[in-house]
Structure 1
Amino acid sequence: MEIKAVLFDLDGVLIDTLDCWFQAINDTFRKYGRREISRDEFLREVWGYTYDRALGYLGEEALAYCRARLTENLWRAKLIPGAREVLEFCKNRVRLGLVTNTPRENTLKELEMFGLEYFDVVITADDAVNRKPSPDMVLRACEMLGVPPEKALMVGDTESDVRAGRSAGCRVIGINVDADWKIRDMYELRGLLEKILEKAS
């Protein structure tokens, strides 16, 4: 198996922003007089998909408010342990892509906050009509990298990531989610990537 590129999801894979998003979504519901959702509802219905899936019916003003609240909440974000080490390991071995349903402004802010300037291509919610779990964002990243999907790995932490990667024709590594390989954390990912990339070479 020849691997030329590794594509990463952002939130929950490289940066822990779950609390940031959860707060921003509920702040928006509260402002617009809607019922706040529980953490379980958030994980089931919003996390891994797009924020407009939950808020779109409230209109563009509400979406803009949510994006602003997310930016204000980013002080809560934390770099996932082992994430930088994985990117350092990959950067001179394969092309790197980021494929995230997060809006571009917020994505770039997160990358800047933690100094994650490793990616050859960054595809965000603003760069695609059809977002994950559609394969379109993954296919676009592969096209821009000049790598066929069958020679790319997708790393994600949600069913949405897995469906997008598989539908595009990539092999998928799932962090605590069923995929072609299922792992627990970034340290385990580092070991798995070493085996896959060494075997490919």
Structure 2
Amino acid sequence: MHFQSVTFDLDGTLLDTIADLAEGCRLMLEEVGAPPRSQAEVHSFVGKGMAVLVERCLTHAQPPTADQLHAAIESFKRHYAVINGRSAQIYPGVLEGLQAWQASGLKMGVVTNKPGMFTETLLDRMGMTDYFDVIVSGDTTAHKKPHPEPILHACRILGVRPDRNLHIGDSKNDIHAAHAAGCLAYAVPYGYNEGEPVDSADCDALVSDLLVAYQQALTFKDLKNK
């Protein structure tokens, strides 16, 4: 296979976590006395990390003040820590895909914008931690996706050149981060994409699930070395 490693986005790619995120936002908004948000709204707010999610929940006619945002973030942390993983679901094809990638001998990693205090706990609760050789969270590096640094950081730890890493995600944040890092990017059509569904023109392959992604990667040809 052309690839030596594969990195995955977490929320919206491996796991459907929207019910937990929406409940955390509901409890946070109730605590700080802000108007509620629907699950559909929260769905459209997910993608650039916890702070942006909270800020989007609070923003109506104008954005929250710094003090309001800080208080709301601390509230969300408390509530989400309790419910993180409670209603999360593994997307169809994910376990089969991870098992196929693992059997191939490729190194695997998670690169997510979710804060580290939630990432490993969630993977542990879902029984998925042992699949991965590296976990890069939203606060592991100075930047979050769509900046390339989180993916480059994962590649350094894995000891793999970026052009030999495949990144799989559910949004343009993942595609832009991967391409900026020098990786190929596959995208799944489900998940959380900030209201901008990914198109096949945006990525190197649009795949229905992770098992299909594995099968697609098997057929990838390294044209430079032919």
Are 1:69 and 2:69 counterparts?
A: no
Of 187-196 and 134-143, the range deviating more from structure 2:
187-196
2:187 equivalent to 1:181: no
Provide Cα deviations, 1:119-176, integer angstroms capped at 9, x if missing partner. 1111001212211111111111111111111111110011211111111111100101
Please, which of 136, 139, 157 is the counterpart of residue 126 of structure 1? 139
Match of 1:43 in 2: 43
1:100: how far off? 0.6
Shift of 1:28: 1.3
Across the aligned residues of Structure 1 and Structure 2, the Cα RMSD in angstroms comes to 2.4
Unaligned residue ranges in structure 1 (runs of 5+): none
Q: How does 1:21-60 map to 2 (within 5 A)?
A: 21-44=21-44, 46-55=45-54, 57=66, 58-60=68-70
Question: 1:48-74 deviations in whole A, cap 9, x for unaligned?
Answer: 211201336434443232123223322
Amino acid at match of 1:75: R
Aligned match for 1:135, one of 148, 161, 164:
148
Higher-helix-fraction structure: 1
Give the whole-Å Cα distance in 1 for the aligned partners of 2:150 and 2:71.
Answer: 25
Moved over 4 A (4+): none
Question: Are the equivalent residues in 2 in contact too, given 1:28–1:65 (CA < 8 A)?
Answer: yes
| Residues 175-196 of structure 1: CA deviation (Å, up to 9, x unaligned) | 0123111122234223223333
Q: How does 1:143-182 map to 2 (within 5 A)?
A: 143-176=156-189, 177-178=198-199, 179-182=203-206
| 1:95 aligned partner | 107
Counterpart amino acid of residue 97 in structure 2: V
TM-superposed CA distance for 1:9, in Å, is 0.6
**Are residues 1:104 and 2:116 paired?**
yes
Percent identity of the aligned residues? 28
Measure the CA separation in 1 of the matches of 2:136 and 2:70: 21
SS for the counterpart of 1:150 is helix
Report if aligned partners of 2:166, 2:183 keep a CA contact under 8 Å in 1: yes
For residue 3 of structure 2, what is the aligned residue in structure 1?
3
Asked if the contact 1:9/1:156 (under 8 Å) is kept, the reply is: yes
The normalised TM-score by structure 2 is 0.79
In terms of mean alpha carbon deviation, does 60-69 or 7-16 score higher?
60-69
Counterparts in 2 of 1:190 and 1:150: CA distance versus 1, 3 Å: closer
Change beyond 3 A, Cα 1:165–1:114: same
Query: Alignment partner of 2:131: what SS?
Result: coil
Deviation at 1:13, TM superposition (A): 1.1
Given that 2:29 and 2:36 are in contact with CA atoms closer than 8 Å, whether structure 1 keeps it comes out as yes
Matched residue SS, 1:196: coil
Number of aligned residues? 199
Q: What corresponds to 1:83 in structure 2?
A: 94
Q: CA deviation at 1:40?
A: 4.2
Aligned equivalents of 1:93, 1:33: Cα separation in 2: 51
TM-score (norm 1): 0.88
SS in structure 1 at match of 2:113: coil
